[in-house]
Structure 1
Amino acid sequence: MVVTALDLVLAGLVVGFGALVQGAVGFGMALLATPLLALIDPAWVPVPILVPAMVLAIASLLRERGHADWRGVGWAMLGRLPGTFAGVALVVLLSPRAFAAAVGVVVLACVAVSLAPLRVRPTPPLLVTAGLVAGVSGTAAAIGGPPVALLYQSASGPRIRATLAAFFAAGTLLSLAGLGVGGAVTVDGLLHGLLLVPFLAAGFWLSGPARVLIDRGGTRPAVLGLSAAAALLLLGQAVLG
């Protein structure tokens, strides 16, 4: 992979904006960055984007670590482990269009359930299931936030951000390990991911004041809106890809 200065700046701006969104809402960087990076150069996905994603998750967790639901993270990670290996297998066995369509339908169904007059709570069975889906989609498509985020949509902003950050930190490391076993991780890919970290740091810093606006009643709409956007994006890839 040969990176020009222009490609690096464009990719960095995309990642920086994604970091701003995720730092304020709790997820969204991969959702925003993955399709745009693929347009700049498909080699930016998935390993190079997973590197700054892990750095962002750790930074977010350190900033609001006192609010994380560690019990919920544990249950979600119980599902994430088999989901990661399933995601690696699907990258090899399933066509990208079929996979994108399947994940998109599942996420849209979750959003529809959330909009119904029902209270979705992060119970252990639902957390394991969400972790499984997130493991599959996060490893194969670098979009793993919506399944778990939907379960915490009624929680406070700090609770959502810290819990998702803890889940992403462990899950991203697991995805990188799974892709490494599958032969998809290279030194070149890791180094290119590190080049994006300074841009990520700038976006994360800007997310500080943005959190204040989101926490004034905008957390649930932001979670539902980003989740629906992720689903539509995947379905669009399936139809047009």
Structure 2
Amino acid sequence: MSALMLDPASGSSVGLLVAGLIVLVGAVVQGSIGYGLNLLAGPLLALIDPALVPVPVLMIACVQAALAVVREHKHTEWRGVGWAMVGRLPGNVLGVLAVASLPLAQFNIVIGVSVLVCVGLSMLSLKLSPTRPGLVVAGAASGAFGTASSIGGPPIALLYQHSTGPVVRATLGAYFLLASISSVVTLLIAGQVRVEHLSAAAVLLPFMLAGFAASGPLRKFLRGPRLRYAVLGVAAASAMFLILRNLF
């Protein structure tokens, strides 16, 4: 595709509105439970214009993550963020290699199945927790998944599903900020970032800001078991959507 549908020069007001609403809903979800913007917006925006994923989505994710850190910075677990980033950097390289050499549909199916397995184990008996080895492995998986398809949240979010709401949102926000920046830089080095991506991200940014603002009141409602089930539910739903979209 020579130009992004959401480039203002394209004149696609319908595409802009639909994509903006998708981003707004994703921003509300992420602002409430700590992640979800890329999970919801990534697959749906790809249906509108494949060029919107992953670069423009990662760019607006950087801004939302920064806002989350500012809003609840006192609850950030920087140790966990650091170990997750140790795994994220080599994971980014794996993601770029996957984009360049593997059939994207098959790789996305693998991502979806992996997330569903993690959700299933968590619901049954396995109590995932943010240990040092777990964070490194989850960071690597998040890097590969996020760089290839913009869906890198579940591996880290599942480790923090038993933490309090502020800790989940602030820690994931700090991680997503560094992770999204690292993915964009990796894609830039690989020659996958174009000027049109900046324009598309700028068009979608106001919708993300509106969604983040709307998420504030929901934070008090999503706590304890509600927060955990929301984390698992968003992960499972996004994984199923990713699988079905690449099967049919």
TM-score scaled to structure 1, two decimals? 0.96
Given that 1:16 and 1:200 are in contact with CA atoms closer than 8 Å, whether structure 2 keeps it comes out as yes
Q: How does 1:21-100 map to 2 (within 5 A)?
A: 21-100=29-108
Corresponding position of 2:109: 101
Given that 1:87 and 1:136 are in contact with CA atoms closer than 8 Å, whether structure 2 keeps it comes out as yes
Aligned length: 240
* 1:9 counterpart (13, 17, 21): 17
Counterpart residue type for residue 32 of structure 1: L
- Tell me which moved more, 109-118 or 218-227: 109-118
| 1:159-185 alpha-carbon deviations (Å, 9 max, x no partner) | 101110001000000000111111110
Q: How does 1:120-131 map to 2 (within 5 A)?
A: 120-131=128-139
Runs of 4+ displaced beyond 2 Å: 116-119
Q: How does 1:143-222 map to 2 (within 5 A)?
A: 143-215=151-223, 217-222=225-230
Given that 1:105 and 1:235 are in contact with CA atoms closer than 8 Å, whether structure 2 keeps it comes out as yes
Residue 3 to residue 135, structure 1, CA distance change in 2 (3 Å): farther
Identity %: 48
Counterpart residue type for residue 187 of structure 1: V
Given that 1:51 and 1:194 are in contact with CA atoms closer than 8 Å, whether structure 2 keeps it comes out as no
- The Cα RMSD (Å) is 1.2
- Tell me which moved more, 3-12 or 178-187: 3-12
| 1:185-229 alpha-carbon deviations (Å, 9 max, x no partner) | 011111210111111111000000011111264110001111111
Q: Aligned equivalents of 1:106 and 1:208: distance in 2?
A: 31
TM-score scaled to structure 2, two decimals? 0.93
Offset of residue 230 of structure 1:
2.1
Given that 2:68 and 2:170 are in contact with CA atoms closer than 8 Å, whether structure 1 keeps it comes out as yes
Offset of residue 3 of structure 1:
5.0
Counterpart residue type for residue 107 of structure 2: F
Q: Aligned equivalents of 2:11 and 2:26: distance in 1?
A: 20
User: Unaligned regions of 5+ residues in structure 2, if any?
Assistant: 4-9
